Every structure is written in structure tokens, then in C-alpha cells.
Chain A
Amino acid sequence: MKIKAIALNTFKEAVRNKVYYLLIVVGILFALSSQIMSLLTLGDKVKVLKDIGLASINFFCVLIAIFTGINLVFKEIDKKTIYNIVSKPISRSNFILGKFFGLAVTLLVALLSMALIFFVFLLLSTGEFDAKVLLYFILLYFELLIISAISILFSSFSTPILSSIFTISLYLIGHLSWTFNEFKYNLTETFEKVVVYSLYYIIPNLEKLNIKNDIVLKIPIESDVFIGSIIYAVCYIAAVLILAALIFNKKEFK
């Protein structure tokens, strides 16, 4: 009930901001522009359509996640609206959870509207219904939730500019973190091993949640890998939110 109140308020704040719609609309326009790109290519037109379309939706959803996320908690502290929350009978962890779920709903609405239009567009221009694209969107959603949790974590103790730098860096490294895993076989020193192993577990393995290439190249997606990826995402999110709540519990609002 209390978590729901915070979540609903967070969602309201997002949807009463014009930038939210702007990002959704521009995202859709970019996705649809793949049509033009596909006309300019000689190769597999459907492949280009999916490649560019999915990449655009991905990019704009990530933008919404990062830029809504880093402001969420910071703005409450900066504008002192947090006074009216921590003084109420609601725990600070529940506040963080409420913020996270609010952002989750905000992203779900953005992703659903982009995805829906893209599906219709794909159906009209190729005549085929590719259910696997749906799987892509599901995993993308979990990636967005990881980014949200991370940006909430950073915004609970630093400024939006620093938070966005941290979050964007983690996002970019997150797509390369699988290389650590490959890398570790070449290491002999224990110390180096420890560092690389810990980095591998600390940094979110976002590439695990990216199945764009499998879809574009029509590689079959195995169900246990798919479910494994979701479980990984849920655990990662839980860990980040617990950390955020721990930090937030100790925080004074001066």
C-alpha cells in the first residue's frame, strides 16, 4: 500500500513530464526509420529492419531509464520532499522499493508502446510475425530494470551528473563484462584472478540479456539460457536495491 503510493507518485511524475513522451516518440521514429535504411541496403532487408529497429528502441529505453532514474531519489532530497516521506510511518527501504517499482512501470509503458508499434510495423512491412522479437523485448526489460536499480543506487548518494557518469559507464562496461570471464583463463597470479573475478561479479553482465544477434541471425534461443538470464537479472537487481536501501537508511537529510 505504502510502496504502491510511492510507485504511483513516481510514475505520475514521469508521465507528467513532456520529455518522457518526446523520448518515446523519437524512439519510435528512429525504429521506423529502419524502413528507409533497409531500402538502401542490398542484403537481407528484414535483417536490417530488425537490427536498426531493435537497436533504436533499446537506446531510447535506456535513455529513459538512466535519466529518470538518476533524478528520482536525488530530486526528492534536493527539493526536500523527502522530509515528508521519512517523517511518515514508512521505512526508507520501502521508499527505495516504491521508487524502483514506479520506474519499472514507467519503463514498461514506454517499452510496450514502442514495441507494439514496432510489431505492427514489422508485420506490415515483412508480413511475418516473429515471436522471438518478443523474447528480445522481455530480456531488454530486465536489462532496463538493472539500469534503473543502478541509477537509483547512485542517485541516493550523489548528484545527477556524477550518477549519470557512473551509470552510463557501468552500462557500457556491462556490455563488455563477459570479456572478463574469457580473460580470467589467461591469468596466473592469484591477486589478478581475484580482481578480475570480483569485477566480473560486480559489474552487471548486460550482454547476457542481449539476444539481438541471435534474433537477427536467426540463431535458436534456448529456454534454460533465457530463464537463467532472467534469474541472473532478478538477483542482481535485488542485490543493488538492498545496497541502495542500506545506504539510504544511514542517510541524513540536512
Chain B
Amino acid sequence: MKALEIKKLKKTFKSNFLFKKYEILKGIDINVEEGEIYGFLGPNGAGKTTTIKCVLGIIFPDAGEISIFGKSYNTGEARKKVGFLPEHPYFYDYLTARELLTFTGNLFSLPKKQVSNRADELIKLVGLEKKRELKLKKYSKGMIQRVGLAQSLINDPDLVILDEPFSGLDPIGRKELRDIIISLKEAGKTLFFSSHILQDMEMIVDKVGIILDGSIRKEGRLSDLISHSVRYYETVFTGVAEAALRENNLETNRLDNNYIIKSESEKDANDIIRFVNGHKGQIVSVTPVKMTLEDIFLKEIVG
């Protein structure tokens, strides 16, 4: 069964002028299989947050269908299975982290004891044990993001939807979040998150959906989208006279005392190595550069 299925989702925002309408989502299809990590990728203003808000009933779609584990998204039954972290989250700043988690747990009508145990576990998971009795007013941005993640997991959700979860986190926080996401997957959960940080996505996602200007441009397994073939070789070397380079019509980039040459094929790269050795230079490195998510992303945007 699909954890999340969106069919032909459309959403239009009306502007203040009565007649002007902006079509923000132009019939989006998204398929998230149970147990996978799905990366929802798109430039600013593409419609990621709008899509997520529709899924959670914060705004209402104009057309289309959304189902969560086969149930219509707007039912209590579907909602019970979902955890959600909004973009730029803000929580009641007069509460402590623990109180917020208890409050959120109560919205799911979970047993008191269960909420209490789970709140303690989650505070530990997101590394806020020392700050648990501090009011959220006194939390930093990254700490709020962590509390946000904790509250999204209070009901032990089967589907976790995170809107830009990496924003506001330092490198350690990002690493921790990646680990948490992976451990959730290992526990059989489904994750759906949007992000700009392609590297964070590339390391963990199973599937990506690329949204551009309100339409899904590509959706597929990461391994299918990114060809594992090498795009080019990058050879870095030093100690070759500039005149020799010019003589051979070699186009180089300079970085300090090093020269960098990109070559299309393995054969070309080997020729460069031979050339450098022939001119008494030293090879610093040869790197095969593979296609990245960023390349796909940029290709989609640039056209």
C-alpha cells in the first residue's frame, strides 16, 4: 500500500484583486511507497509547502485526491498515523519542551503514561535533555527545530512529513537528523521531506520528486535518476611549465600552484597523466566525477 498518494492535486490562490488567480499547484501526482524515504525537491516558490499544507488539511485543495495509507487524508484515522513538522516552526513559547510534547500527545488522545514516556525518549533523541525545563521562549532556532522534530514523532507516526527539516541546523544537527531519519526508516516508518540541501537528501533518500513551478518534473528512485556513470575526470597536477601547457593547447584552471584539467573520457585522462609525467610534473589527484542530484536539479531548472 502507498503511504501517501497524491493524484492531480490543484490549488489556486486568489490575489487581493478579485479577478486575478495564481495557479500554484497544476495537477500534482506523488507516490510514496510504504517504508521509503522520499525527498521532495524544488526551488523556492515551487509549491512544496503548498502541497504539504494540502496534505495536512491546513489549506483545502481545489481538485485532486490525497490518500494516506489508503484512507482519505482528511479523516481522523489518517491523521493519527501522521507526524508533521512545519516549515519555520513556531510553538507556544510559554511552554517547556516537555509540556509541548505532552500537549501534542494529548491531541492524539494517547494514554497519559505513554505520552510521558515517549516525551522523555524524544527529548533525549533530539538532544535537549539539559533544556527540557526551559521555556521555548529561550530556545535558539536550531533547538526549536529539534523540538519540532520531537513533537512530530510523539504519536509514533507511520508517515512522517517534514517541511525543510534541515533548515536552521548546524552540521552536527544535520548529521543527527540524517541518523534519526535513517533509524526511523529502519523502524519501518515512511518519511516524506522537502529540502534545499541536496547533499543531505542525496545521502539518505530512496526516491525523489522534483517539483518546478507547480508541476512534478521527475519522480523516481534516486538510483534510476542518477546515472552512476562518470560524467568527467578531474586531474590535478603541478610542476609543469606553463609554456608546455600552451604548446599542447591544454585548457587548464589554476588553483595556487596546481593545474586542473577536466577530461571527457578515461582515455583523455590517461593522456594527461602521461603528458604530466613526460614533463616532469607531479600528479596530485585524479577524480572521476559522477552525476549528482544537484546536476539533475539544475538541469531541470535551467531547462
Partner of A88, one of B89, B91, B94, B108: B108
CA distance A80 to B92 in the complex (A): 10
Is A89 touching B107 in the complex (CB atoms < 8 A)?
yes
Task: Kindly state whether residue A16 has any CB partner on chain B within 8 Å.
Answer: yes
Is A84 touching B84 in the complex (CB atoms < 8 A)?
yes
Contacts of B107 in A (CB 8 A): 2, 5-6, 85, 88-90
Is A83 touching B103 in the complex (CB atoms < 8 A)?
no
Which stretch from B55-63, B236-244, B253-261 is at the chain A interface?
Answer: B55-63
> How many chain B residues have a CB neighbour from A under 8 Å?
29
Is A1 touching B109 in the complex (CB atoms < 8 A)?
yes
Task: Kindly state whether residue B151 has any CB partner on chain A within 8 Å.
Answer: yes
CA distance A9 to B77 in the complex (A): 24
Is B90 touching A2 in the complex (CB atoms < 8 A)?
no
**Given that A84-B91, A89-B76 are contacting pairs, would A2 and B57 also be in contact in the complex, using a CB cutoff of 8 Å?**
no
Contacts of A4 in B (CB 8 A): 106
Is A89 touching B56 in the complex (CB atoms < 8 A)?
no
Is B56 touching A87 in the complex (CB atoms < 8 A)?
yes
Binary interface profile of B, 222-257, with partner A (CB < 8 Å = 1, else 0)? 000000000000000000000000000000000000
Task: Kindly state whether residue B67 has any CB partner on chain A within 8 Å.
Answer: no
Contacts of B125 in A (CB 8 A): none
Is A12 touching B56 in the complex (CB atoms < 8 A)?
no
Contacts of B104 in A (CB 8 A): 84, 88
* Minimum CB distance partner of B58 in chain A: A253
**Given that A1-B109, A80-B86, A84-B86 are contacting pairs, would A254 and B13 also be in contact in the complex, using a CB cutoff of 8 Å?**
yes
Partner of A87, one of B57, B88, B94, B106: B57
Contacts of A81 in B (CB 8 A): 90-92
CA distance A107 to B103 in the complex (A): 22
Q: Of A4, A8, A12, A83, which is in contact with the most chain B CB atoms at under 10 Å from its CB?
A: A83
* Cβ distance A205 to chain B, nearest Cβ, rounded Å: 36
Q: Of A5, A12, A82, which is in contact with the most chain B CB atoms at under 10 Å from its CB?
A: A5
Contacts of B88 in A (CB 8 A): 80
Is B91 touching A12 in the complex (CB atoms < 8 A)?
no
Contacts of A252 in B (CB 8 A): 58-60
* Cβ distance A224 to chain B, nearest Cβ, rounded Å: 41
CA distance A254 to B60 in the complex (A): 10
Contacts of B86 in A (CB 8 A): 80, 83-84
Contacts of B95 in A (CB 8 A): 9, 12
Partner of A13, one of B56, B59, B84, B94: B94
Is B79 touching A88 in the complex (CB atoms < 8 A)?
yes
Partner of B106, one of A2, A12, A79: A2
* Minimum CB distance partner of B161 in chain A: A87
Task: Kindly state whether residue A86 has any CB partner on chain B within 8 Å.
Answer: yes
Q: Would you list the 8 A-B pairs with minimal beta carbon distance, nearest first?
A: A5-B106, A87-B56, A89-B79, A89-B76, A88-B107, A252-B59, A16-B94, A83-B86
- B contact set with A: CB distance below 8 Å: 13, 53, 56-60, 76-77, 79-80, 82, 84, 86, 88-92, 94-95, 99, 103-104, 106-109, 151
Having A83-B84, A90-B107, A253-B58, one finds 20 other A-B pairs with CB under 8 Å, namely A2-B107, A5-B103, A5-B107, A9-B103, A12-B94, A12-B99, A13-B92, A17-B94, A80-B90, A81-B92, A82-B58, A84-B86, A87-B56, A88-B107, A89-B76, A89-B108, A89-B109, A252-B59, A252-B60, A253-B53
Q: 18 A-B contacts, Cβ less than 8 Å apart?
A: A2-B106, A4-B106, A9-B103, A12-B94, A12-B95, A17-B94, A80-B90, A83-B53, A84-B86, A84-B104, A87-B56, A87-B84, A88-B104, A89-B80, A89-B107, A89-B109, A90-B107, A253-B53
